[in-house]
Amino acid sequence: GAGVSQSPSNKVTEKGKDVELRCDPISGHTALYWYRQSLGQGLEFLIYFQGNSAPDKSGLPSDRFSAERTGGSVSTLTIQRTQQEDSAVYLCASSLAWGGGNTGELFFGEGSRLTVL
Amino acid sequence: AQKVTQAQTEISVVEKEDVTLDCVYETRDTTYYLFWYKQPPSGELVFLIRRNSFDEQNEISGRYSWNFQKSTSSFNFTITASQVVDSAVYFCALSEDSNTDKLIFGTGTRLQVFP
C-alpha cells in the first residue's frame, strides 16, 4: 500500500512476555518515528531513525524498550518483559527528510494497540 | 523545556456552529515550528498545518483557520460551520529541531460534532 503500515493492529499479551511491533514506512521516506499514545495522554516521542541509525532515542522509557531499522525501511519496536503500564497504542510515522530542513508532515500508520494483562 | 498545553479535553457542538480549539506552547527557542494534526476514529493522524515562528500571519484553508500569536504563545485553530466529519481528536504540536520532524504533542482535544 501507499501509506505507513503497522502490524499487528492489536496485541494482547501477558505481563512478562516480550512483544515485537512492526512498521513499514512509505517507500522513499528516510526518517521514521515511533510514538506512544496512552489513554488520556498526548503522543509521547520514543525514538527517531534517519536511515538505519537512531540519532535520538531519548524517549525510550526504559532499557526494556529497543528498536531497530534495517535496509532503511522496516522498523521493529521490541518491548521485553512487558508491564501493564506498557499498554498503549504505538504509532509509527515516516517523513521525507533532508539535511537542514524539515517538512513537518509526518505520515502516520494506524497504530498497534498493545494490551498487557 | 518545551511543552504544549491543550486545556480543552472535549468539546461538543452542533453542526454549523463555529468552534475554536486552543493551544498554548512553551519554548525557550526563538526558532520553532507549530503544527496541528487531526486523528479521526480510524486512528491515523493527518497533518493539517505547519507554521514557523517567524510567520505570524493567520492562515485560512477552506473552513479551517489558524491564529498564531507569539505575544500569548498561542496557536489556536478555528473550524467554521462545523460538520459531522470534523469529529476527531485534534493535536497541537511543537518542534524546536529544524533538522527532524520530532514533535512534542499536546494531549489533544476531542471534538464531537452532532447533526
> pLDDT by residue for chain A (117 residues), tens digit each?
579 999 999 999 999 999 999 999 999 888 999 999 998 778 999 999 989 999 899 999 999 999 999 988 999 999 999 999 999 999 999 988 654 456 668 899 999 999 999
Residue B33's CB: how many other CB atoms inside 10 A?
A: 21
- Which of A31, A42, A100 has its CB closest to that of B101? A31
Cβ of B31 under 8 Å from any chain A Cβ? no
Give A98's DSSP letter: B
Give A101's DSSP letter: B
Contacts of A35 in chain B (CB under 8 A): 105
Cβ <8 Å between B100 and A102: yes
Query: Quick check: helix, strand or coil at residue B70?
Result: helix
Q: How far apart are CA A2 and CA B93, in angstroms?
A: 25
A 63-92 residues with CB below 8 A of B? 89, 91
Residues of chain B with pLDDT under 70: none
